[in-house]
Structure 1
Amino acid sequence: MNTPEWLKPVALGVVIGAAAASTLGFSWGGWVTGGSAAKMANALSHDKVIAALVPVCVDLSRIDTERAAKLAKIRETSAYQRRNALMGTGWATIPGSDTADRDLAQACLAALEPDLS
């Protein structure tokens, strides 16, 4: 079979161009794989759910009859243990769940920080 002389350089250019476009697209263009996109979407949705539940946590703290004692206990706890102390109050337990959520407790602690000072 006779192939034209110009076919080899064109094919080589197409292959090199595709490799260059892929490299530039994934490194600088912001392209991501499906797995990376799913991880980013899950992280974003988790953050949004936690942000939506912070008012619930704050409201649970406001209606708690033992609020002053629990806040005093949280104040007495060292800074790196405050999240665990807040989890022990039950305020960071998502309605319908049996256990407290660590991320919700951290966000709730940040929202209650003016109350703690």
Structure 2
Amino acid sequence: MNAHKWLKPGLCGAVIGAALLGIGGFTWGGWVTGGTSHGMAVAMSRGDVVTALVPVCLDMSRTDPERAAKLKAIKDAPTYQQRDALIAAGWATAPGTMKPDLDIAQACLAALDVDKTPERPENTSGEG
């Protein structure tokens, strides 16, 4: 008979405690659902891929024989169209893909820093 006296308050306390723990964990504890963590992982991996491909874009821009003309077109474009000009230059299309990537283009544009890149004449003399 003594079990009945403490069983109901004990179970109520456990349920209320679990509810408060869950609310606190998801609100302030940083807990997330599986779907949220999957979305975060996809976004992080996408960012890492873009970061890894920016040097490829920069290398394509450095080795392009029409670099000066393409850089001038990018610089002359309004700021909101510079990414499209970089895509038109072909530097945002990763090797092995058919379509340019907007995120790579934006990151490459930031890395090129076209506003600060000096326009230099192409070296045709063969010297370093």
TM-score tier (shorter): over 0.9
- Separation (CA, whole Å) in 2 of partners of 1:99 and 1:4: 70
Equivalent residue, structure 2, for 1:41: 41
Report runs of 4+ in structure 1 exceeding 3 Å deviation: none
Normalised TM-score (structure 2): 0.87
Give the number of equivalent residue pairs. Answer: 117
**Within 2, Cα distance between the matches of 1:98 and 1:55?**
19
How far is the alpha carbon of 1:4 from its aligned partner?
1.3
How big is the shift at 1:116?
6.3
Alignment correspondent of 2:79: 79
Query: Which residue in 1 is equivalent to 2:117?
Result: 115
Q: Distance in 1 between matches of 2:94 and 2:32?
A: 33
* Cα root mean square deviation, aligned: 1.7
Query: 2:31 aligns to what SS in structure 1?
Result: coil
Q: Which has the higher helix share?
A: 1
Aligned residue number for residue 31 of structure 2: 31
Equivalent runs, 1:1-117 vs 2, <5 Å:
4-113=4-113, 114-115=116-117
Unaligned runs of 5+ in 1: none
Contact between 1:71 and 1:116, CA under 8 Å: does it hold in 2? no
Look up the equivalent residue of 1:106 and give its one-letter code. Answer: Q
> 1:88-117: per-residue Cα shift (whole Å, max 9, x none)?
111000111111000000000001004268
